[in-house]
Chains A and B, each alone.
Chain A
């Protein structure tokens, strides 16, 4: 099937555990942690009109 001994690029990716470690940490850090922390940080305060309706100020 294959005359040349060249290892397919994707097989190199499969075998490269350091690259996989990096990928795993990166996806988790960006998708879960950083995005989540940004959303928490961006939580707005209770709108004034809701407070005024109750506290009458």
Chain B
């Protein structure tokens, strides 16, 4: 019983049949879930990446500015709009309280996103497809995206970053 020491011989008591069957089943499901994550890495198309680089806010800012200059096609609400070629390295900078630049991508093509922050932690939440990643200062998270749908997408910041957190929203345009 729960409040007194167990009876002598508790360690030798045989396990009931139903408990035994249940434990076997529960164990199989548990181990399966573990291997499922590995199988998904091998065969499926949505996995967190293996690549992170160390950087500094200064370096990352410089790279993003160079990236913007190189591929800039316009401006929207004071934020540069950039159209990088398919397959290229894309730099996305998070800072209190904006994302830059606005990206124009092509559906079905791969882009190597580099995402980092100038100040505190931010959250990269792509809507309405609902994919979420963390953004750190000093770390360049490399995620290779292939947009599989076209239209206008928004990057909502979903890690608390200060008083203006709710104003932090960016944009990605995917063309057919």
Contacts and interface: CB of A to CB of B under 8 A. Distances in A.
B11 A50 contact: no
Contacts of B110: none
Interface stretch (A7-15, A18-26, A28-36): A7-15
B52 A43 contact: yes
Contact of B63 (A11, A44, A55): A55
Interface residues of B, number: 18
A47 B114 CA distance: 12
B11 A14 contact: yes
A11 B11 contact: yes
B70 A54 contact: yes
B12 A2 contact: yes
A46 B63 contact: yes
Interface in B39-67: 52-55, 59, 62-63, 66-67
Given A51-B63, A53-B89, A55-B63, A45 B11 contact: no
Contacts of A54: 63, 66-67, 70, 89, 91
Contacts of A1: 9, 12
Contacts of B54: 43-46
B66 A55 contact: yes
Residue with the greatest number of chain A CB neighbours at <10 A, chosen from B12, B54, B55, B139: B54
Interface of A: 1-2, 7-8, 10-11, 14, 43-47, 50-51, 53-55
